[in-house]
Structures are given as structure tokens and as C-alpha cells.
Amino acid sequence: MGRWGHRLTAGGPAWLRPAVIVAVLVLAFLVSQTCQKSSIRFDKNQAIAKAEAAVDFTPKRTQVRFLRQGLDSKPFWIVSLSRPGKQRGTFSELAVVRVDANTGKVKDVQPPQR
């Protein structure tokens, strides 16, 4: 009993409290699964290694960017691999490789441009 003779618990159906607890647990599970799917499991160095293996030349320059793409904000490493050309600001070879930061799979390779 409370201070003025009232019950301390809220009234309502007996099934309501267990239903709310189950709903909160299900929500926590869904949020944890969503966060796990978008986590970054492959670091920058691993992405560079995957990208270098995906092209048929040995790069002299490497540039790496991390982006989240799509409606679900899927994480990707975008790796630019290049060999400088004879003139300043040109490339003799250039490739852009997109690596999934969660799985480490190479999603696509923009073919080397000569």
C-alpha cells in the first residue's frame, strides 16, 4: 500500500507487463542485428590488399576513402589504385575498387584506364 492507501502498481491486464518485457527484448535483438550487419569488420589495410589483388598491375599510388552507400548505409572502402603517367597529373593505369567493409568482398572494379 502507498502513502494514501492506494496500490503501488498500475492497474491493467495481467498479461500487459510480460508483453512489454518481451517487446523490449525483441526490439533490442533487432537493433543489435542491424548494428552488427553494418559494422566495419575489415580495416583500411585489408581493403587495400583486397583491391590490389583485384587488379592486374602493381600500383604506385593508393588512395582510400570510407563511404556508407545506399538506403541502408552499407559500409564500403573505395580504393583508388594508380600508376602515374609521363605527364604531370596523368595516369598510365588507374582502377577504383569498391570493397564491402563488413564482408571484405570486392563488389566492383572500375577497369584500369590506360
Domains for the chain: give ranges and CATH numbers.
44-110 (3.10.450)
Q: What is the tens place of the pLDDT at every residue in 36-64?
A: 555 688 999 999 999 999 999 999 999 99
Average pLDDT, the chain: 85
Percent residues over pLDDT 70 in the chain: 80
Q: Looking at the whole model, is its pTM more than 0.85?
A: no
DSSP lists the bridge partners of residue 110 as 96
Q: How far apart are CA 98 and CA 47, in angstroms?
A: 9
Q: What is the tens place of the pLDDT at every residue in 87-107?
A: 998 899 999 999 999 999 999
Q: Say if residue 29's pLDDT is above 70.
A: yes
Q: How far apart are CA 82 and CA 92, in angstroms?
A: 8
- What H or E segment, with its residue span, contains residue 95? strand 91-100
Q: Say if residue 75's pLDDT is above 50.
A: yes
